[in-house]
Amino acid sequence: MTESAPAPVTVRRIRPGEGQRWRALRLRALADTPAAYVDTVESARARPESAWHDAVARLSAGCDGALFIAESGADWVGVAGGFADEHGGTTVFTVFVEPATRGRGVVDGLIDAVADWSARCGRHNLSLEVGVENPRAHAAYRRLGFAATGASRPHPLYPELTEIEMVRPVIG
């Protein structure tokens, strides 16, 4: 018996009405790597359903913020978002790829989607913060053209951890 190849992964912007699916993916991300986010499973679980739908409505259109979903067949296997920052660029946030899907280029497609959206919105730089203690993510961002700025800070929820700022032009 041969194993079938995994379904191809596609990336698209989240759509209105997908609040419950976004909540489920966010909870998986928070459980997998809690220190990668400025949120907790407990606080995310406690949010009312309307908050998830409101967030999706805001992130599904326009240039203030966007959320992109990676799909493999009917399964959501990754997410990344961006929001307009005070420096005229885009801050990348909430990057997550399901453990079973890592190493298949999903993060590349997600970051490309954020970069394309950013460029269409007239912003030309991407920035993000990544934990020094997360070498896999750090290496992926370097591979995608991000460079450390030299700025760092303690993680807002886990002050014993250090986050570094990384930037890259939209066209990587």
147-168 pLDDT, tens digit each = 999 999 999 999 999 999 999 9
- Token code pair at residue 91: 């801050």
Name which of 4-18, 98-112, 113-127, 135-149 the model is least confident about: 4-18
Is the pLDDT assigned to residue 5 strictly greater than 80? Answer: no
- CATH assignment of 9-123, among 3.40.50.720, 3.80.30.20, 3.30.70.980, 3.40.630.30: 3.40.630.30
**Residue 98 DSSP symbol:** -
171 band by pLDDT with thresholds 50, 70 and 90 = confident
pLDDT at 1: 52
Average pLDDT value for residue range 34-63: 95
| Higher-confidence position of 7 and 22 | 22
State the Cα–Cα distance between residues 83 and 56, nearest whole angstrom.
13
Domain limits of the chain? 9-123
